[in-house]
Amino acid sequence: MQPNGIWVYAITERVDLTPLAQIRGVGGRGVRTVAAAGLTAVVEDVGLAEFGEEALRRNLEDLDWLEAAARAHHGVIDAVAQQGPLVPMRLATVYSDDARIAAVLTERGADFRSALRRITGRMEWGVKAYADRQPEASDDSAVTAGASRPGGGAGAAYLQRRRNQLTAQKNARRETLASAEMIHAALSGYAAETRVHTPQAPQLTGIKAPMILNAAYLLDSARGGEFAAAVTALAEQHPALRLELTGPWPPYSFAGTGGEGGLT
Amino acid sequence: MSSQHEEEPVLVPTSVTSPRQSPRPAIRTERIALVDLLDRVLAGGVVVSGEVTLAIADVDMVRVSLRALVTSASALIKAGDDEEVPGQ
């Protein structure tokens, strides 16, 4: 397979390729660099039969291919991130030759440098909140209310039960949303920047409880432990929500260089 | 419910680090959930327009990929439904 595409992983100031020698990228080859204007792009040569535009459109629909590519892309970025700040590229950024990559490094050098400055010494953490206890809470209150009401026919009892159930559901929803906002506000206090992602659908998470917060936080590296402890404390204060913490991540959600390079 | 997807790669967050169950903050040693990874490599990262050979719009790409995910994931969830969430 003739490699005439160049997959770009990340842009950084400099990178030592020695620790990356064992890393295999999306195309199974090793990575190399393209340098210009004091910046370095970490790249891999890829064949257009698999990574050309048409092939990519097809392959991105193939879950196995997508997963392998996402993990390989992340694997390289994560390894490079061990060496210092980087601007990760979105999956499937493919150029046709080194000269074009060098031109981008030169033309947008100022943007990349300012992004690198914002990211230096910082990592991304993710927090997701699920409205976990909602159905149980409403069921309980409905049963209690129905059972404790003497007299009245079965129909009236049913209506009352149904009304209580709906009220309880509405209240529970309002409370969990308020809790999620409080949690996000509290965690934002630790972060240099925050981003709120679209909540993941239950079909994707495999968790039936609806996700009501999917946020990313850019933290000074030294604050990771403190942040994790805060998440644990907030989870205890808000038992109706289930919190999940992920990270530290390379700063995918915060690498926007401003202007058209902005994220999400 | 078909069980043909039981052997497929894991889609649900196997590396869940629920702080209530476990105080460990880091996931580096565990397998990262694909959904969390896709949130970042498809919705995050810098988009450089113009010179790239691939001109798929961001939104398109996310939708395209999620379609692949949803198709396989919903089959997975259906297959796993019976053992799940007895209290529900």
pLDDT in tens, A101-125: 999 999 999 999 999 999 999 999 9
Cross-chain CB nearest to A206 (options B9, B12, B43): B12
Complex ipTM: 0.81
Higher pLDDT, B81 or A97: A97
Contacts of A231 in chain B (CB under 8 A): 19
What's the pLDDT score for residue A198?
84
Per-residue pLDDT for chain A (264 aa), expressed as one digit of tens each?
567 889 999 999 999 999 999 999 999 999 999 999 999 999 999 998 998 888 887 888 788 898 899 999 999 999 999 999 999 998 888 888 899 899 999 999 999 999 999 999 999 999 999 998 654 444 444 445 445 555 668 889 999 999 999 998 888 888 889 999 999 999 999 999 999 988 887 877 778 889 999 999 999 999 999 999 999 999 999 999 999 999 999 999 998 755 433 333
Distance from CA of A253 to the nearest CA of B (A): 5
A207-237, pLDDT tens digit by residue?
888 999 999 999 999 999 999 999 999 999 9
What's the pLDDT score for residue A55?
85
What's the pLDDT score for residue A152?
66
Contacts of B52 in chain A (CB under 8 A): 93-95
pLDDT at B18 over 90: no
What's the pLDDT score for residue A224?
94
- Subunit contact B46:A100, Cβ cutoff 8 A: no
Q: At what angle do helices B34-41 and B58-80 cross, to 10 degrees?
A: 170
Q: At what angle do helices A134-147 and A154-188 cross, to 10 degrees?
A: 150
What's the pLDDT score for residue B53?
52
Q: How many residue pairs from chains A and B have C-beta atoms closer than 8 A?
A: 192
pLDDT at B57 over 80: no
Please report, rounded to a whole number, the percentage of residues in chain B having pLDDT higher than 70: 20
- Subunit contact A232:B16, Cβ cutoff 8 A: no
Beta bridge partners of A218: A124, A193
- Subunit contact A203:B52, Cβ cutoff 8 A: no
Total count of residues recorded for chain A: 264
Contacts of B12 in chain A (CB under 8 A): 205-207
Distance from CA of B16 to the nearest CA of A (A): 7
What's the pLDDT score for residue A173?
84
- Cα(B81)–Cα(B88) distance, integer angstroms: 11
